[in-house]
Amino acid sequence: MPVVWCVLSLCLWVASAHAQISRLDSMQYLQNVTVYGVKPYAEVIPAQTLSGAKLEALSSHSVADAIRYFAGVQIKDYGGVGGLKTVDVRSMGSNHMGVFYDGIQLGNAQNGQVDLGRFSLDNIDEVALYNGQKSEIFQSARDFGTSGSIYLRTRRPQFAMGQTDHLLVTMRTGSFGLANPSVRWEHKFSPHVSLSLNTEGTLASGKYHFRYRKFFSDGELAWDTTAVRRNGDVQALRAEASLFGTYDGSRWMGKLYYYVSERGIPGAIVNNVWKTAQRQWDRNFFAQGSYERKCSERYELRAQAKYARDYLRYLNPDTTLMLIDNKFWQDEIYLSTAHKVTLARDWDVNLAVDYQWNYLNSTQVNFVYPTRHSLLTALATAYTWRGFKAQASLLHTHIADRYTTRNDGTVLAHHRKRLDRFTPAVFVSYRPWAAHDLSFRAYYKTAFRMPTFNDLYYTDMGNVQLRPERAMQVNVGAQYQLFTERGFVASARLTADAYYNRITDKIVAIPTGSGQYRWMMMNIGEVRIRGIDLTAAVALRLPADIIAEFTLSYTHQHAQDYSDPTDRGEAGSYHGQIAYVPWHNGSVATHLKWRDLDVNHSFIYVGERYHNSSNIPANYEQPWYTHDLSASYRFALRGTRYIKVTAEANNLFNQQYEVILNYPMPGRNYRLGVAFGF
Amino acid sequence: MVRQSSHNRFWSLALWSVALLALCASCRHEDVIFIPEHVQVAQPEYTSVSGFYLLNEGNMGSNKCTLDYYDYTTGLYHRNIFADANPTQALEMGDVGNDIGIYGSKLYAVVNCSNKIDVMDARSAAKVGQVDIPNCRYIRFHGKYAYVTSYAGPVEIDPDYKQRGYVAKIDTTTLQVVATCMVGFQPDELEIVEGKIYVANSGGYMVPNYENTLSVIDLATFKEEARVPIAINLQRVRCDQRGILWVASRGDYYETQSHLYAYDTRKQRLVKELDVPVGNMWLDGDSLYIISSEWSYLDASYGGATYCIVDTRTMQVANPMFIADGTQNSIKRPYGVAVNPITKDILVTDARNYVLPGNIYCFDRTGTLRWRERTGDIPAHIVFTK
């Protein structure tokens, strides 16, 4: 099969040919400047990706900001620099998403939550979103276990002939009292081993003005209030060191990651309460490594290992509320091997076995100190015949939890809980004509998410009887791609997918007793989601060396609550659209490039929603849409040195909006960045 | 040629997509203040009770504490009337309504997480003032004062963090706090009987070291003069015509269950313990109406709901099920109860799953459903208007 590389170098489509090793050096030198590539895909269903210049051009500060441009995605954004941002894909809930950092899942056994607002794009090369799973078989068992996955790939150092070092020093500042310096140094030890060091600091007061107002039905102003969002300050430091190597037909990588932060938690704005006092401290450390070797034409091996330790302290010192000062320590050990055997030229089989160990320690009263052993075994096979690609996988998950109930320090009992589940998935795609890159695809997948340690064991709130929350997905779709060497349209890619998801045994928090400060997790929900995702990406060659790229995404979803069949009627929740899922949302991003100048505009639209599944006016949430504009210019200096200046204005029309009820978002805000590199 | 036609096709498709997005993009409109909904639920009736207010708690952080009003003289249920009565009040009533009362011509709504008491005109619900009290819980009246319990007394560190609760004394003419009296941890309901204030200390934040006492405050000196042990985690306290205090404990949601106690304020001793779980109660003459749906961590579920009447003379359950027509099967989480003093109609509110809008059910004195209507979120506290 011909491998097509389409590379937009300095935003000119220069190549549409077989990738050849001998050309890599010159091409990768260009990649330092700005190269946009469309990779050939090994997956049955390719991902939505953002990478290279496109990623850089979007005025996105964190991974969560970048993911907003993908179809089918909802970001739960609590606002501000340090505010929590979680991703919900196709309305299945954020706990069904797996986030993989350089191939290994970022876990959080405590609450299942990966705050994508914390992952800056500073060191990220590519963000990819897969619905269902990454439909490639040579991967770890974990990769088969989620209902959707986000893959973050950190930057690989690439050196031109004779170069051994790269340095990039960046300083960004802007609204919210932001200071955001970062340094990246890359060094080539030998043709086979290179190092990347990256560190970034974030300091922000997090303050911004927000405005609430309401009108009489005749349009006269009823009330209007403007206030400053407080307790949204953040100070964070991230440091990463990565070592990359190749050795005699094998590739390896090692990574150390450390993140430390303190932040205020800006709570809900309610009558008479304009600021909150809650604070959170985090320390995340992990060390991970991967090794991949093609042992023979028929056998490939991949091994991965990780150790992670996370610390979280949550403090509520507000004297008008209950004092909470909880500390949590999590440990994780992860080992994985994957073995791919090529049975015939078009037929591969992969066996992957993962083992994971998690432990949670806490200062909570009567804490049960849970330990979880997970053993995941995935057997997958892929078959290709002409335009037909198919993949089937079966994942077995064995989970054993141990915990000890205590009362005032005395052990009451030791407990064990076991769980065994099989979850299958089938992915197929068909490309009827070799001359046209039009393909049709479909998948079916079941998965489940384990209740987190908090769901199960949080003192007085966890529920040890919880069952896993199950997800079933069916998807059919099509994709068309076009690349040309000259002419008005340089490239185009269109995708359309229709899907049906069903979430059963959904884990929902409900209050207990007659006070509201105690909640409990229960398996009571069922949600059915019917949706359509459309995407289009078009690159045009305009006169005067101007390149224009347009990226569009649109999602239409009916995500309906089927939990309580007795609750029908106009205010009933049965068949009601679930909380915060709009019927319509979409984005349009435009990137214009003229020589060393990049201009980017993006528009994000989220339609009307309700904040719970009783879709009545009292629960209505307004649509919101923001326009972001950014421009950057790259000044070439002596040799390979350069300075790049970037200016951004976000939420250009200063829309006052909320993503989550009572969490006001920032209005118009600015950012300025200067980077020096060679 | 092929390229030409295909690129035209894509260009038009791209434009079509933009148009589609623009079409779907319904725009924002200005937020309009909540317009009350008026629903005819029953025939008008004319007694000295003209209606009742229902305070909906709303979930923490939702700012959805709302006020409903039922008008007996028209049979109309008016949902979410506060914004209409107070259109210039920014962010409406606030977060988690916890108690409501009428004294003189004024209506008082205790809004727990908004740390304040809204004082309104009892006829129009137009706000006339506000008293700021952090973590305020319940309100009772006596003489020219209102008394409000609060969880948020001064913080002591000795060496553990401690924050006792207090009772605030509010002058109902000036709406100023004129005195405070420290009590136990996390005081809930209070009752004023023959020159004394009895306060139910819960200790709900101190798990598992709950409080187990009533604080007794002398009304004249406004000093705590005694603690009376009853049971752990006390919540409700109501006094009958014979000076018997009916005190309800929440229990610990494990082995110790919610119970009802009778404390004789004259003899100063506990005279009865009833194995009746109490979520909420309403005293009408000699009948104590009790509803409950008790949570247990032991089996991680709610037990069966209780709808009973205790006769305060015999101190026994006089009617173990005051709903006679099976309507209890459609009530998910009974949360509030009230009895019309004239007609003896029984009102029961259903908080359902605490997130969705609740319901109010009106039963006649025989326990037959007369009407039901949708409320705000977590309907809970009722006060009748004259």
For residue B339, which amino acid is it? Answer: V
Question: For position B12, what pLDDT does the model report?
Answer: 60
pLDDT tops 60 at residue A5 = no
Supply the mean pLDDT for chain A: 88
Q: How confident is the model at residue A408 (pLDDT cuts 50, 70, 90)?
A: confident
Question: For position B22, what pLDDT does the model report?
Answer: 54
SS3 assignment, position B345:
coil
Q: How confident is the model at residue B188 (pLDDT cuts 50, 70, 90)?
A: very high
- Tens digits of per-residue pLDDT, A161-171? 889 999 999 99
Residue given tokens 């390979």 in the structure block: A640
When pLDDT is averaged across residues A126-138 and rounded to a whole number, the result is 91
List CB contacts of A111: < 8 A, sequence separation 6 or more: A452, A453, A454
A315 inside 8 A of chain B by CB: no
d(CA A417, nearest CA chain B) in Å: 16
d(CA A408, nearest CA chain B) in Å: 9
Question: For position B14, what pLDDT does the model report?
Answer: 58
Give me the percent of chain A exceeding a pLDDT of 90: 67
Among B3, B35, B93, whose Cβ lies nearest the Cβ of A271? B93
Cα–Cα distance for residue pair A651/A642, rounded to 1 Å:
29
- Least confident range of A405-419, A508-522, A639-653: A508-522
Partners of B34 on chain A (C-beta within 8 Å) are 617-618
Are residues A608 and B300, on separate chains, in Cβ contact within 8 Å?
no
Are residues A623 and B26, on separate chains, in Cβ contact within 8 Å?
yes
- Tens digits of per-residue pLDDT, A210-226? 999 999 989 999 999 99
Cα–Cα distance for residue pair A519/A515, rounded to 1 Å:
9
When pLDDT is averaged across residues B223-228 and rounded to a whole number, the result is 96
pLDDT tops 70 at residue A292 = yes
Among A213, A465, A625, whose Cβ lies nearest the Cβ of B25? A625
Question: For position A161, what pLDDT does the model report?
Answer: 86
Give the residue on A whose Cα is nearest the Cα of B130. A272
- Tens digits of per-residue pLDDT, A8-17? 222 222 222 3
Q: How confident is the model at residue A86 (pLDDT cuts 50, 70, 90)?
A: confident
List CB contacts of B38: < 8 A, sequence separation 6 or more: B76, B77, B78, B79
> Which candidate in B96, B354, B355, B375 is best for mutational testing of the A interface (most A CBs within 10 A)?
B355
Are residues A215 and B30, on separate chains, in Cβ contact within 8 Å?
yes
Q: How confident is the model at residue A18 (pLDDT cuts 50, 70, 90)?
A: very low
pLDDT tops 90 at residue B15 = no
- Residues of A numbered 90-129 whose beta carbons fall under 8 angstroms of chain B's beta carbons: which are they? none
pLDDT tops 80 at residue A260 = yes
pLDDT tops 90 at residue B276 = yes
When pLDDT is averaged across residues A566-583 and rounded to a whole number, the result is 91
Give me the percent of chain A exceeding a pLDDT of 70: 92
pTM value?
0.90
pLDDT tops 80 at residue B298 = no
Question: For position B254, what pLDDT does the model report?
Answer: 76
A525 inside 8 A of chain B by CB: no
In DSSP notation, A214-256 reads EE-TTS-EEEEEEEEE-S--EEEEEEEEEEEEEETTEEEEEEE
A272 inside 8 A of chain B by CB: yes
Give the residue on A whose Cα is nearest the Cα of B131. A272
Integer CA distances (angstroms), A230 to A269, A382, A669, in order:
10, 53, 16
Partners of A462 on chain B (C-beta within 8 Å) are none
Between residues A233 and A455, which one has the greater pLDDT? A233
Question: For position B4, what pLDDT does the model report?
Answer: 44
Are residues B335 and A514, on separate chains, in Cβ contact within 8 Å?
yes
Partners of A586 on chain B (C-beta within 8 Å) are 21, 24-25
- B321 alpha-carbon distance from chain centroid: 22
- Tens digits of per-residue pLDDT, A97-113? 999 999 999 988 888 88
Contact A263, A235 (CB under 8 A): yes
A322 inside 8 A of chain B by CB: yes
Question: For position A394, what pLDDT does the model report?
Answer: 97
Token pair, residue A16, equals 């549409």
B344 inside 8 A of chain A by CB: no
When pLDDT is averaged across residues B367-379 and rounded to a whole number, the result is 96
Are residues A267 and B87, on separate chains, in Cβ contact within 8 Å?
no
Give the residue on B whose Cα is nearest the Cα of A318. B152
pLDDT tops 70 at residue A66 = yes
Question: For position B66, what pLDDT does the model report?
Answer: 97
List CB contacts of B227: < 8 A, sequence separation 6 or more: B184, B201, B213, B214, B215, B216
Beta strands in B42-194 (DSSP E): 51-56, 66-71, 76-79, 97-103, 106-111, 116-121, 127-132, 136-142, 145-150, 155-157, 161-163, 166-171, 176-182, 187-193
- Tens digits of per-residue pLDDT, B304-321? 789 999 999 999 999 999
A410 inside 8 A of chain B by CB: no
Supply the mean pLDDT for chain B: 91
pLDDT tops 60 at residue B170 = yes
Residue given tokens 């919610």 in the structure block: B258
A656 inside 8 A of chain B by CB: no
Question: For position A409, what pLDDT does the model report?
Answer: 76
Question: For position B28, what pLDDT does the model report?
Answer: 84
List CB contacts of B296: < 8 A, sequence separation 6 or more: B253, B254, B257, B302, B303
Among B30, B33, B357, whose Cβ lies nearest the Cβ of A614? B357
Are residues B135 and A321, on separate chains, in Cβ contact within 8 Å?
yes
B361 inside 8 A of chain A by CB: no
The domain spans of chain A are 2-677
B78 inside 8 A of chain A by CB: no
- Residues of B numbered 164-203 whose beta carbons fall under 8 angstroms of chain A's beta carbons: which are they? none
pLDDT tops 60 at residue B283 = yes
Token pair, residue A139, equals 């991967």
Give the residue on A whose Cα is nearest the Cα of B335. A514
Contact A2, A537 (CB under 8 A): no
A437 inside 8 A of chain B by CB: no
- Least confident range of A44-48, A229-233, A426-430, B371-375: A44-48
List CB contacts of B11: < 8 A, sequence separation 6 or more: A488, A489, A538
pLDDT tops 80 at residue B297 = no
Among A217, A223, A605, whose Cβ lies nearest the Cβ of B25? A605
A612 inside 8 A of chain B by CB: yes
B134 inside 8 A of chain A by CB: yes
- Tens digits of per-residue pLDDT, A262-275? 999 998 999 999 98
Question: For position A52, what pLDDT does the model report?
Answer: 79
When pLDDT is averaged across residues B36-64 and rounded to a whole number, the result is 95
pLDDT tops 80 at residue B266 = yes
Are residues A464 and B300, on separate chains, in Cβ contact within 8 Å?
yes
- Least confident range of A158-167, A551-560, A658-667, B288-297: B288-297
Residue given tokens 């079966």 in the structure block: A394
Question: B215: burial class by Cβ within 10 Å (0-12, 13-18, 19+)?
Answer: buried
Question: For position B353, what pLDDT does the model report?
Answer: 84
Cα–Cα distance for residue pair B204/A402, rounded to 1 Å:
29
For residue A443, which amino acid is it? Answer: Y
Which of B184, B143, B313 has its CA nearest to residue B243? B313
Among B7, B21, B279, whose Cβ lies nearest the Cβ of A489? B7
Give the residue on B whose Cα is nearest the Cα of A622. B28
When pLDDT is averaged across residues A365-387 and rounded to a whole number, the result is 93
Question: For position A597, what pLDDT does the model report?
Answer: 93
Count of residues making up chain B: 386
Give me the percent of chain B exceeding a pLDDT of 70: 91
pLDDT tops 90 at residue B27 = no
Domain A2-677 CATH assignment equals 2.40.170.20: yes
Contact B335, B380 (CB under 8 A): yes
- Residues of A numbered 494-513 whose beta carbons fall under 8 angstroms of chain B's beta carbons: which are they? 494, 508, 510-513
When pLDDT is averaged across residues B275-285 and rounded to a whole number, the result is 95
B206 inside 8 A of chain A by CB: no
Question: For position A4, what pLDDT does the model report?
Answer: 29
